[in-house]
Amino acid sequence: MLELADVDAFYGNSHALQSINLKVAPGEFLSVLGRNGVGKTTLMRSILGLMDRVTGQLSLDGADISALRTYQRAKAGIAYVPQGRGILPRFTVRENLVLGTFAAKQANGIEEWVIELFPVLKDFLNRYGGNLSGGQQQQLAIARALLAQPKVILLDEPTEGIQPNLVEEIENVIIRLNRDVGLTVVLVEQNVSFVRRAAHRFAMMEKGRVVAAGDIGELSDALVHRHMAV
Ligand SMILES: Nc1ncnc2c1ncn2[C@@H]1O[C@H](COP(=O)(O)OP(=O)(O)O)[C@@H](O)[C@H]1O
Ligand SMILES: [Mg+2]
């Protein structure tokens, strides 16, 4: 279980997150929603320990992780697929994947089942990451995160800017990771219909706060219009 209690986060003096309380149970799929600039990425960065200053409690499986460094949080089982993907362009696909394995508790190399989720990666192992399309880079970023053998995977707008023919493929893999592999998923997403199809629970953000949360069945059109419509 990933738990945030009274979490606040800051960029310098700017108060980016306020009083965030969230619980994600093992095997659960939580989607974080909200307009641009409300703090969704900041929330992911806070869970990973990538912010200047975070107050409040963060725990994973009952253990306090607030004082851990980012690489220790990764070893503890939190994987992150950042918005914009974070592929190293001058590293090959294989080298990008090997980076993911470094965060694993037990080194298992590049596991076959991960490559099989995204067969295109197998053909491109020796290509530079920077030469892949955006959608292929997203697949690589997800595969790299999985090779860290996480308990929970944080995905920040994984289908943003992806060519339409790959969007559904990526969405289906994310659903499989939760339902078949049993991974706990925290997904930042703008596509409400995908969220309704995939998630168990949602948290709607506005101005650095969670303003509504609940079971996915409670994500009404009225809530979506109030907090997401442009
Ligand atoms: N590096 C930064 N330094 C200062 N402020 C930032 C930085 N990154 C984001 N912010 C601000 O924090 C707020 C939340 O941003 P972000 O978490 O990226 O929102 P979202 O992911 O929901 O679009 C915004 O007001 C944004 O301008
Ligand atoms: Mg963002």
Q: Where do the structural domains in the chain lie, given as residue ranges? A: 2-85+151-227
Q: State in Å: Cα 157 to ligand 2 middle.
A: 7
Q: Which amino acid is at 217?
A: G
Q: Which ligand is nearest to the CA of 40?
A: 1
Strand order in the sheet with 53-60: 14-24, 2-11, 53-60, 63-64
Matching residue, tokens 């190293």: 88
16, 98, 115, 124, 157 from 130: Cα distances, Å: 32, 16, 19, 12, 19
The CB density around residue 25, as the number of other CB atoms within 10 Å, is 13
Encode the chain (230 residues) as per-residue pLDDT tens digits.
Answer: 999 999 999 999 999 999 999 999 999 999 999 999 999 999 999 999 999 999 999 999 999 999 999 999 999 999 999 999 999 999 999 999 999 999 888 878 899 999 999 999 999 999 999 999 999 999 999 999 999 999 999 999 999 999 998 999 999 999 999 999 999 999 999 999 999 999 999 999 999 999 999 999 999 999 999 999 76
Q: Which ligand is nearest to the CA of 13?
A: 1
Ligand 1 pocket, residue 53 CB under 6 Å = no
The pTM for the full model equals: 0.96
- Atom 14 of ligand 1: nearest residue by CA position: 39
Instruction: State which fold the 2-85+151-227 domain adopts.
Output: Rossmann fold (3.40.50)
Dist CA 201 CA 187 (whole Å): 10
65, 108, 133 from 92: Cα distances, Å: 32, 19, 14
Q: State in Å: Cα 15 to ligand 1 middle.
A: 10
Which residues lie across from 205 on neighbouring strands? 210
Largest Cα span, the chain: 48
| Helices 164-179 + 134-146 axis angle, to 10 | 10
28, 100, 134, 142, 153 from 23: Cα distances, Å: 10, 26, 32, 23, 14
Q: Which atom of ligand 1 is nearest to the CA of 39?
A: 17
Cα torsion angle, 137, 140, 145, 146, sign: positive
Cβ partners under 8 Å of residue 112, min gap 6: none
Pocket test for ligand 1, best of 8, 10, 14, 187 (most atoms within 8 A of CB): 14
